[in-house]
Amino acid sequence: MNKLYEEAKKVLNNSYSQYSNFKVAAAIRLKNGKIITGVNVENASYGLSNCAERTALFTAYSQGVRKADIAELLITTEQEDFVSPCGACRQVINELMEKDALVHMTNKHGEIKTVNVHDLLPFAFSEDDL
């Protein structure tokens, strides 16, 4: 877990958050040990911004990773308290990660809260609803 946290902290300053000044970084650990990171990227047209969690997951998928390959996701910020994924990220996490995969939320002190994907969005909309 420490390695995942360290990798997320390394990229935190890559966040493009000039409007909110709210930096977020995410790191995904694959079952083979590889780590993929992402940061939030804002846009003057706020709706076009992308969260760190989605950036990391979309990067992983663009490299051929699929949900069975992902072991865990960690999110970190510079905040005193824990920050959980937004609703859009919860929906994407629910679709692109397995329900029992772990999601770790950390604060600037490195303290960690862990839940599984299902606990983030227990009544998620899925392909079964289509």
**pTM attached to this predicted model:** 0.94
Q: CATH number, domain at 86?
A: 3.40.140.10
| Residues 6+ positions from 67 with CB-CB distance below 8 Å | 96, 97, 98, 101
Q: What is the pLDDT of residues 98-128, one digit of tens each?
A: 999 999 999 999 999 999 999 999 999 888 8
Count of domains forming the chain? 1
Choose, from 6, 7, 42, 53, the residue flagged as catalytic: 53
Q: What is the pLDDT of residues 55-91, one digit of tens each?
A: 999 999 999 999 999 999 999 999 999 999 999 999 9
The residue range of the domain holding 86 is 2-129
Q: What is the pLDDT of residues 3-59, one digit of tens each?
A: 999 999 999 999 999 999 999 999 999 999 999 999 999 999 999 999 999 999 999
- Cα(91)–Cα(51) distance, integer angstroms: 12
- Is 53 part of the annotated catalytic residue set? yes
